[in-house]
Structure formats: structure tokens, C-alpha cells
Amino acid sequence: MYAILDIETTGGKYNEEGITEIAIYRFDGYEIVDQFISLVNPEREIQPFVVNLTGINNQMLRDAPKFYEIAKRIVEITDDCILVAHNANFDYRVLQTEFDRLGYEYKRKSLCTVELSKKLIPEMESYKLGKLVRALGIPMSDRHRASGDALATVKLFQLLLDKDSEKSIIRKAVKTEIKKKVATRLLDIIENVPTATGVYYMHNAKGDIIFIGKSRNIKKRVNQHFTGTNNKAKKLQKQVVAVTFERTGSELIALLKESEEIRRKRPMYNRGQKNKSFQCVLRSETNQEGYHTLRIEKADARRKYITSFSNLSQAKHIMFKLTEDFNLCQKLNELDAAKSNCAQYTINKCNGACIAKETASAYNERVQQAIKKYSFINQSVIIVDRGRHHDERSAILIENGEYKGFGFYSLNYQITNKNVLKSIITPMENNKEVQHIIQSYLRRKNKLKIIPLS
């Protein structure tokens, strides 16, 4: 759990500043679960340059609560939380100074989104909050007011969680939780995971990830692990002390993220799982008469192919479908072993390429259309799918036929802006496995929005 905060102060000498406004959002990694926002009477004058910057003046704070009146609420809303702020050293120091004046020792672990941004998004021109969130397409209002800045930091932190491929942020949070709650029961774990689509991570007592999975209903899937009776389920039940998760909204992103995370982290209980690699591929050749032919072959990593299939049955089903959809020849596609014309020609469903009644150029044009539909060879597109919230969408970037990664964007933003698109994308490795995942998913879910990039 995180407490994301922003503090406005009077300005002045080091450790003599007073708080004029504070905003704290309690954040579980997906959504805000509690919040506290208040003006504060600092009992001292505000520096003129601060008044000009924030718009907060002494008259506005005359009837505002003093810090001691809100101190208990601050302690409660940040309990068991890691403090997160943009330039966290400043906000944490000012908060500790106020508590010191009351004679109370206030200690929390903290994370700084400036430092995290420099590590996870190193190419940005500026790391000032306003410039950074604008460059990332994050909406912002009430700049230099505690609530506006803290809300922008929430959105920024969620993007940083997405980009944290090594899970260093989550591991730190898990270690904090484990120290406070060593004897976590499985039922408590299940209670705290959502019924949403996403990827989940099972941690041992050291905070290490020992299993990664994906599901359209994380709670249901975790419950299956904890009620299973096979050997792996029993081992997980003994060793798991925490389950963290990332909502993706999109099932496709969950599949891609699961594949990437398992490949990178190789968790103990994922190593022995069944190889997900495809068995068959679709390839194209040109015969002696100049016609492009399509054929199903056993997968061979050394050879280029159009698309891949989990098994032969699936491959044949798709081959028959694309042959029919694009009015191709079953004989040329090795679906009909006829010696002369194919059976489809006799019922006027083949234009006669099998007996040279149709020109190779006319036939090959339709073959290329079929290839374009079933692969992303040399194409640059964005695949748009569900987001994690109702006002958000996900974007998967394919550039020159290669998978580049995914990201999330607000519906209020123009996703076709290439600079913004690349800044929100979490880079991922392109390989044959992810190509298979994307193409297989799109064959099943053929109503997804696909936007070509010029």
C-alpha cells in the first residue's frame, strides 16, 4: 500500500517552513482507496513568491485547521504505507519536522518519483512534475496545489509501476508488508486480490517471486491455487506469504506480460510448466508458374513464416477459412490433392488458378491481402484494447512488423501522437513466442481496433 502525497509550504529558511496545504491519496497500486486533503494554518507568514506560485495567501488560511488538529488523520491514512512523492526528500522532511514540533516521531519508508522516473524513463528532457506529466500524456489540473500535484503523481506512479520490469518497487512494498504481517493466512491473501484481468505474482517470505500467472479473474485463479491438491499447489500453499498483482484490463496484455515476466525472472514454479511454443506455421512460396502458394509446415526456428499455430488442427481450420475468405485455390494451398482443377473450381468458388485460367498477378494480389490480414509483416500499427479503468484504453505497438511493447492512455488524449505514444509504451522484447500470442489472440478476437501508423 502506498500513500501518495504533496505538500505546499510557506517557504523560508530550511526546517522553518510551515505547511499550508496537504493532500494524501492512499493507493493500492491500482486505485485510490482513501484520501485526505486540507488547507493548514501554518501560524506564520507565507513568502510572497509562494503566494504568487500557489495562489494560497494568509487570509485563506486564517480559519484552516492547525497541523496538530490534522496530525492524527495523517498518521492513520499513512499507516502501513510507503510514502510516495515527487521529490520525496522535501515532503517527508517537512512532514517529519511538523511532527517533531509536536514531540511525535514519525517514520515511514519512502519512494521518490523523480528518482524512479530518471531510472525507468531516462530519456525525458525534464523531470519537473508539470513538464514530465505533460510529456507523458498525463492530464493535470491545479498545478502547484497539493491535490492537483498529488493526483498527477498518482498517475505518474502507476505508469512507473508498469515500467518497473524488475519489480523493485513491488518487492520493497512486499518486504514491508511481510515484516508487519508474517503469519498472513491464505484466506486473507485471497480477500485482497481483485476479480479483475491481469497478472499476479506469488512471493515467499523473502519477497522473492516464486510463481507468475495471468487470468481474466485473478481472485478466482489464486483461489484455485490455494485449494488445489496437486504437488505444485501444495508447495505454493506452504511457501506463499503474499500475492501482488497488476491489472491490465486487456487479456492480450496479460498474456504478453506473463510471457515476458516468466522469461525474465524464471520463477521457481514456472520453470517446469509446459512449453507454450507453437507446433505449426504458415509459409508462402512461388511455384514454377508464378503463383504464390500457402502451405502448413512444422515449426522450424531457422525459417521465416507468415503466422504460427498451436497445433495442426488449428492450422488447417485457419487455412480453409482464409482460402474461402480470399477466394484462393485449395489445390495451390495443398488442401485438395486433385491432379487437374480443384473441386472448388467446379462449383465456381475458385477462379481457376489451379489450371492457369486466372492470371498469376490477379491471384497473387489476393494472396498478399490474406497474408496482410494474418500477419504484421512490415506493418506499423497500434492495437487498441480495454484499459484498467472505464476512461482508459490500452495500446500495443507493432513497428515494422515487430512488437515493441504496450502502454495505457487516457481517452482524452490523442494516441496517434507518436512522441506521446513512445513515451507511454513499456518496452518489451520481440520474439516468436509473443508474435504467436498476438496473432493467435487477434484470430480469436477479431473485433479489436487496429490503427495503422503512417
Q: Where are the domains of the chain?
A: 2-163, 168-265, 280-374, 381-452
pLDDT confidence tier of residue 180, bands split at 50, 70 and 90: very low
* Residue 363: all three cell numbers together: 491471384
The answer to whether the predicted template modeling score (pTM) of the entire model surpasses 0.75 is: no
pLDDT at 172: 64
d(CA 408, CA 202): 24
d(CA 313, CA 294): 16
* Angle ∠(136,32,57) on CA atoms, nearest 5: 75
* Residue 176: all three cell numbers together: 514491508
pLDDT above 70 (res 3): yes
pLDDT at 181: 41
Portion of the chain with pLDDT greater than 90, in percent:
31
pLDDT at 7: 92
pLDDT at 48: 87
> Would you give the distance in Å from CA 350 to the centre of its chain?
45
d(CA 203, CA 287): 55
DSSP H or E segment with residue 24: strand 19-27
Judge contact between 61 and 19, C-beta under 8 A: no
State which amino acid sits at residue 331. Answer: K
Please state, rounded to an integer, the average pLDDT across all residues of the chain.
86
210-235 residue pLDDT tens: 999 999 999 999 988 888 878 888 88
Asked if the domains 2-163 and 168-265 are classified in one and the same CATH topology, the answer is no
pLDDT at 173: 57
Per CATH, the homologous superfamily of domain 2-163 is Ribonuclease H-like superfamily/Ribonuclease H (3.30.420.10)
- What DSSP character marks residue 47? P
Pairing assessment for the beta strands 209-215 and 242-247 based on DSSP bridges: unpaired
pLDDT above 50 (res 407): yes
Work out the end-to-end distance of the chain between its first and last CA atoms, rounded to an integer number of angstroms.
Answer: 42
State which amino acid sits at residue 268. Answer: M
Mean pLDDT of 180-201: 76
Which strands form 198-203's sheet, in the order they lie side by side? Answer: 209-215, 198-203, 242-247
pLDDT at 237: 87
State which amino acid sits at residue 241. Answer: V
d(CA 269, CA 31): 29
Where is average pLDDT lowest: 85-99, 191-205, 410-424? 410-424
d(CA 221, CA 228): 10
Per-position b or e across 393-412, b if 16+ CB within 10 A of its CB: bbbbbbbeebbbbbbbbbee
Pairing assessment for the beta strands 82-85 and 110-112 based on DSSP bridges: parallel
pLDDT above 70 (res 36): yes
Exposed/middle/buried for 78, CB within 10 Å: 0-12, 13-18, 19+? buried
Pick from 177, 270, 187, 175: which is nearest to 232 by CA? 270
CATH fit for domain 168-265, picks 3.40.1440.10, 3.40.720.10, 3.30.365.10, 3.30.70.1560: 3.40.1440.10
